[in-house]
Amino acid sequence: MKVLVTGANGFVGQALCRRLCEDEKHEVVTAVRGEAKSITGISHCQVGDIHSQTAWKHALGGVDVVVHLAGRAHVMHDTHIDPLAAYKAINTYGTLNAARQAVAAGVRRFIYVSSIKVCGEGQSLVSEAAYDETQPPAPSDAYAISKLEAEQGLQDIARTTGLEVVILRPPLVYGPGVGANFLRLMRMVDRGWPLPLGTVNNHRDLINLGNLVDAIAACITHVAAANKTFLLADGDGVSTPELIRRLATALGRPARLLPIPEIGLRIAGILTGKSTAVNRLLGSLMVDGSAIRHNLDWTPPYSMREGLLETVKWYRCAQKNRL
């Protein structure tokens, strides 16, 4: 089976390509904006910037399945003059353009990696229901809106053309190569910074990079994945303090958690103008990932402990290479 992976230079894309190359059933080709990162056994196509007019034809020849990872990533404090337009140009119109050209090229299946943010920003209380595929979407920012509109457009294309569309909504992904907030947290724990989160009582679902790429691989071949939307998670949700403790154990460091009451943290958020960030940190994000397990008989192959150990191994190696 010939599989085209877009956004192959990214965090998830590189891991997915390595995973697919291990399976001799697949021929893998990647679509990248510029120079491709070399992976043995993979051919590359440069497609330039992703937008509504991107030419995909030369990358789609003979392709059976497209895994679409390319997109404009979520930015916490977006300074673009029109963030929604910027996100939609790539995440919505760029995705739908790729899908229409995939149909014209005879592609059978289009797998779109969306985001759990399409469902909302999480739950205020641990007692609230976890997100699942039956709940109506509730995107609250420009990034999530652009992802939802791409999902809806893909479903319209599927209904009118017969293209099999699979939509995956992962939460925060961690693993070797991770960046952004997870990497910052890992650095703080490694450096022994005291963190005022010892009394936080929440529940956060995440997904390990290895589990995400394994789920994508399952969706490439499984007949029951066609025209389904699946939420993904490790299935081992933790509170923020417990995540810090597990990270500390993997790093071989003590977890320095200060028992600051949550009300104090919320007041500090108000005073510093960072209430949104504080509320997100204290709140829960619960994901019911049972549908993909039931429909595809899929089980995450890696535990959170294994995922954190692999992440720390990469982190230590990256530290040494910077010396």
Catalytic residues: 143
- What is the full DSSP assignment across 165-198? EEEEE---EESTT--HHHHHHHHHHHTT--BS-T
What is the 3-state secondary structure of 262-318?
HHHHHHHHHHHCCHHHHHHHHCEECECCHHHHHHHCCCCCCCHHHHHHHHHHHHHHH
The answer to whether residues 179 and 115 touch, using CB atoms and an 8 Å cutoff, is: no
Which residues are 28's β-sheet partners?
3
Task: Label residue 316 left, alpha or beta by phi (over 0 means left) and psi (-120 to 50 means alpha).
Answer: alpha
Q: H-helix or E-strand containing 15?
A: helix 11-21
Considering only the C-alpha atoms of the chain, give the largest distance between any 2 of them, rounded to a whole number of Å. Answer: 59
- How far apart (Å, rounded) are the C-alpha atoms in residues 59 and 181? 33
- Residue 95 has a CB neighbour count (10 Å cut-off) of 27
Q: Decide: residue 216, CB within 10 A, 0-12 exposed, 13-18 middle, 19+ buried.
A: buried
Question: What is d(CA 122, CA 152) in angstroms, rounded to the nearest whole number?
Answer: 21
Element housing 147 (H / E): helix 142-161
Q: The tokens 């089976």 sit on which residue?
A: 1
